[in-house]
Structure 1
Amino acid sequence: MEIKSKFPAWKKKKKKFVIDKNGKKIKLKSGPPAVQNGHVNGIIRKTGGQDQKSIEVDVSSRKKLKMLKKNKKIIVDKRIHVNGNVQVKTTTTPTLSSSSSFSSKSLSIKSPSATSSVPATPTSSKKQQNPSKSPQISTNFEKFLRPQLPIDAVEQQLMLELVANDTLIVIGETGSGKSTQVPQLCIRARLAENGAIAVTEPRKVAAVSLATRVAVEMGTQIGETVGYHVRFENATSPRTKIEYMTDGIVLRKALISPLLDKYSVVIIDEAHERSLHSDVLMCILRKCQEQRNETKSPLKLIIMSATLQADKFKTYFNNAKVVTVAGRTFPIEMFHVNPKVDRSFSTTDYVYNTICCVKYVHLNEPKGRDILVFLSGSEEIESVGHQLRFDASDRIDVLKVHSVSKAQAMQRAGRAGRDAPGKCYRLYSREEFQKFEAENMPEILRCNLSATFLELMKLGMKNPHKLKLIDPPETKNIDAALLELTSLGAIRPTNADRNKFSLTEMGDAFCMYPLPPDHARVLYQAQREGCIMEAIKIISAMQTDAIFSGNGSDSKNEADVERIRRKFETREGDHIGLLKLILTTNAFFDQLSRIPSACWKRA
């Protein structure tokens, strides 16, 4: 039963106006203060033989809302506080329209049934209330701090599946809301009561930005309920329940605590990218889950992917449950290059083709549209780019350019139809597209595995050839990694067949350095020789781009760079030359720091 009337609890006060966000006074007739872009619902519930009133307040603005009730102040600021108690509602609330506004007579009283309808008689404010019987204020502000997302349609199903399954695979296109909403659903499903929720991201920027966004939606600060942990930066606390981390950080945590006892849920985001760390992490977590399920603290795994090809994940995790989130995509027109017709098309200089295509779209498409260009790397965005690939025969990383997969191409096209109908211009023909691989090659099949094997042996792995991965590496890549680790003195064979290995004391020390094994060996030996600072300087210089590199289009610039490089040449090799350059640079800046500030001002 719904009754629309004046609520007797609200009385006129001497202050008959409120100040809106523009500083204007809004006159009140009676009842609660007028609130822009929000609504107040009074709900009467029958609880334990006594009537308990719950006021649900939804506010789309973050500004404070002050409501006067029986000489008591209820202040709403992202969260609702009543008598020191805070309650966050987990059910959905009506969506606010942009034209909605309040008046003092817009309060509605609802009752679950006709039999439970009772007059709204508030408790006297003069009497001290029991906190357990005080009005419960519930809210769901995150619904109004963000637009509707496709994942909202399957929210209830996801919560049920999260509770019912130890392993869950969530498939949804980019932008569906997986990365921000699934961790919050775990909180609402009470999955964080026995541990925190870890969310792995392949990139540092994604971990930081997602944690910041979720903190805003949950009305908390970074480092409180929500935090992030990336290389050289840890923004978490003992109170943190949702931790966004790079997959490399989670691997480091697994070296310290193999069972990851701190976490009750681990979410692997962007699993479709098949990065080296994510593949290894899934192998570790599957074994960790088996061991944890035998104890009283089971571990839940959630694998999230943006591609619909989840068969490998489903098979790897013993036919795990799959939940698909429908994307929000508008129609997209596809355009392919036809080299036979377009004579200006270059088959080699695809950067030139990109510039021509952007110019064509800019001149021919309606104004107000945005253009998104995909290139293969940050260097290519400026000039030309390549992708890193490991050559097992030479045991070095080489730079090669290769085509994207069909799945990646479709995912990129989908970004054009996120908010409105879009167009996708592909700088290759339809025939070339049909030759693309269905999925991109996993990183574990094309990268140096020595650092990965070192970490896995720290966790107890003996035979890398029997490692159960989603896509096992080639035998030559495994043998190359084992040969490198053996030559560095990090591992040694434990049987005559030389297929089982164990860590040496030196290899155990390598695991403490967040560096490749060869660099870790340099620091290990330098510490014994008493030249650790010099070794750190050399290795730091090796992590940067080429220092002696000029502009290829300027011959004078190239000559100047070569002249400077020769000043730092040494017979001992390039590494000592780098050290000489660093020491010279440090001495120069040290002399500058000694110049009085008054001299700089005169200059």
Structure 2
Amino acid sequence: MSESETPTLDQFPQRLDLSRVLSRDRFRLSKGWQAIQERLKAGQPVDKDQSKWLEHWQRSQQRFEQREQHRPQTIVYPDLPISDKRDEIAELIRDNQVVVLAGETGSGKTTQLPKICLELGRGVSGMIGHTQPRRVAAHTVSQRIAEELQSPLGELVGYQVRFSDQTSEQSLVKVMTDGILLAEIQNDRFLSRYDTLIIDEAHERSLNIDFLLGFLKQLLPKRPDLKVIITSATIDLERFSQHFDDAPIIEVSGRTYPVDVWYRP
């Protein structure tokens, strides 16, 4: 249906399917549909409510389709250790709500995980939120992912740190500090702007990360469509897994480089 067409009441769905609308609209659309069904059963007029609901539903579907069209179809993976387990990681993300990924420095987990999620169709109904402990890391990681996707920073891939927001309505991936995501909970306790969250470097166990993990534990049953990926160095893996009801763990080896040690005279 094009934007110029007005939805008609006979298009009102008898069974609700919100798989192709934005995640931020799903709760409101679901509650509105249920209210209309109750009024219909009670024999009350619903034409005006149906018309408003259909307009909202149509706009959300159109926005979903626009984001889907902009999702990168071909993603080139650099020669990084994580590439060897790409299929296994993708399968775990597809089949589980929470995945714990252990990756050593140089494994490529930070830059490649959002791209694996994009290949799975994530980032369309809502953004892929990717947290970093520090502002400099959030900026540099977003730049790197944008370069690999051959997209200007702020379009398909954006970032947000304190006093700076380089995201847009087209952004499928948003890299941010964990403090930014924590602050968003105050205005959106369902984190409805996101369909996937990657909590990177969780082993640092800052207060922000601990608060986020505790909050997500309570949120996940209310957001069955939300995927969460916890990345960590090879420590505390079992504790992260147990916190999320024995979530599956996958380990990725790192890449080592020769190191020369020099001593001052």
The TM-score, its normalising length taken from structure 2, stands at 0.70
- Contact 1:202–1:246 (CA<8 Å) still a contact in 2? yes
User: Aligned residue for 1:327?
Assistant: 254
Q: State the distance in 1 between where 2:71 and 2:226 align.
A: 27
Match of 1:198 among 129, 154, 175: 129
Cα distance, 1:359 vs. partner?
A: 0.9
User: Aligned residue for 2:204?
Assistant: 273
Moved more, 306-315 or 204-213: 306-315
- Contact 1:167–1:301 (CA<8 Å) still a contact in 2? yes
Equivalent residue letter for 1:166: Q
User: Aligned residue for 2:110?
Assistant: 179
Match of 2:185 among 251, 254, 259: 254
Count, aligned residues: 197
Cα distance, 1:358 vs. partner?
A: 3.1
Cα distance, 1:290 vs. partner?
A: 1.7
Q: Which runs of 5+ in 1 are unaligned?
A: 1-84, 91-139, 336-356, 361-603
1:157 equivalent in alignment to 2:88: yes
Query: 3-state SS of the aligned residue for 1:359?
Result: coil
1:299 equivalent in alignment to 2:253: no
Equivalent residue letter for 1:317: F
Q: State the distance in 2 between where 1:322 and 1:240 align.
A: 29
Q: State the distance in 1 between where 2:200 and 2:70 align.
A: 31
Query: 3-state SS of the aligned residue for 1:240?
Result: coil
Q: Percent identity?
A: 38
Cα distance change of structure 1 residues 228 and 172 upon mapping to structure 2, 3 Å threshold: same
Cα distance change of structure 1 residues 271 and 87 upon mapping to structure 2, 3 Å threshold: closer
Cα distance, 1:332 vs. partner?
A: 8.0
1:282 equivalent in alignment to 2:213: yes
Q: State the distance in 2 between where 1:88 and 1:222 align.
A: 15
Matches of residues 82-161 of structure 1 in structure 2 within 5 Å? Answer: 88-90=72-74, 140=75, 142-143=76-77, 146=78, 148-161=79-92
Matches of residues 26-105 of structure 1 in structure 2 within 5 Å? Answer: 88-90=72-74
Query: 3-state SS of the aligned residue for 1:249?
Result: helix
- Contact 1:166–1:300 (CA<8 Å) still a contact in 2? yes
- Contact 2:73–2:119 (CA<8 Å) still a contact in 1? no
Cα distance, 1:174 vs. partner?
A: 1.1
Equivalent residue letter for 1:307: T
Match of 1:318 among 233, 236, 245: 245
User: Aligned residue for 1:358?
Assistant: 263
Q: State the distance in 1 between where 2:122 and 2:73 align.
A: 16
Cα distance change of structure 1 residues 189 and 314 upon mapping to structure 2, 3 Å threshold: same
Matches of residues 323-472 of structure 1 in structure 2 within 5 Å? Answer: 323-329=250-256, 358-359=263-264
Cα distance, 1:172 vs. partner?
A: 0.6
- Contact 2:71–2:118 (CA<8 Å) still a contact in 1? no
Query: 3-state SS of the aligned residue for 1:255?
Result: coil
Cα distance, 1:89 vs. partner?
A: 4.5
Q: State the distance in 1 between where 2:257 and 2:160 align.
A: 36
Q: State the distance in 2 between where 1:331 and 1:242 align.
A: 33
Q: State the distance in 1 between where 2:236 and 2:215 align.
A: 22
Q: Cα deviation per residue 1:434-486 (whole Å; 9 max; x = unaligned)?
A: xxxxxxxxxxxxxxxxxxxxxxxxxxxxxxxxxxxxxxxxxxxxxxxxxxxxx
1:235 equivalent in alignment to 2:194: no
Query: 3-state SS of the aligned residue for 2:186?
Result: helix
Q: Which runs of 5+ in 2 are unaligned?
A: 1-68
Higher relative contact order (CA 8 A, sep 6+): 2
Query: 3-state SS of the aligned residue for 1:286?
Result: helix
Cα distance change of structure 1 residues 242 and 89 upon mapping to structure 2, 3 Å threshold: closer
Query: 3-state SS of the aligned residue for 2:105?
Result: coil
Equivalent residue letter for 2:255: R
Q: State the distance in 2 between where 1:238 and 1:177 align.
A: 27
Query: 3-state SS of the aligned residue for 2:263?
Result: helix
Query: 3-state SS of the aligned residue for 1:358?
Result: coil
Say which structure is richer in strand.
1
1:215 equivalent in alignment to 2:146: yes
Equivalent residue letter for 1:216: E
- Contact 2:99–2:229 (CA<8 Å) still a contact in 1? yes
Equivalent residue letter for 1:181: Q
Q: State the distance in 1 between where 2:201 and 2:90 align.
A: 20
Matches of residues 533-552 of structure 1 in structure 2 within 5 Å? Answer: none
Cα distance, 1:327 vs. partner?
A: 1.8
User: Aligned residue for 1:46?
Assistant: none
- Contact 2:102–2:251 (CA<8 Å) still a contact in 1? yes
User: Aligned residue for 1:167?
Assistant: 98
- Contact 1:172–1:308 (CA<8 Å) still a contact in 2? no
Q: State the distance in 1 between where 2:71 and 2:241 align.
A: 38
- Contact 2:71–2:172 (CA<8 Å) still a contact in 1? no
Query: 3-state SS of the aligned residue for 2:159?
Result: strand
Equivalent residue letter for 2:263: V
Say which structure is richer in helix.
2
Cα distance change of structure 1 residues 160 and 358 upon mapping to structure 2, 3 Å threshold: same
Cα distance change of structure 1 residues 281 and 314 upon mapping to structure 2, 3 Å threshold: same
Give the alignment's Cα RMSD to 1 decimal. 2.2
Equivalent residue letter for 2:244: F
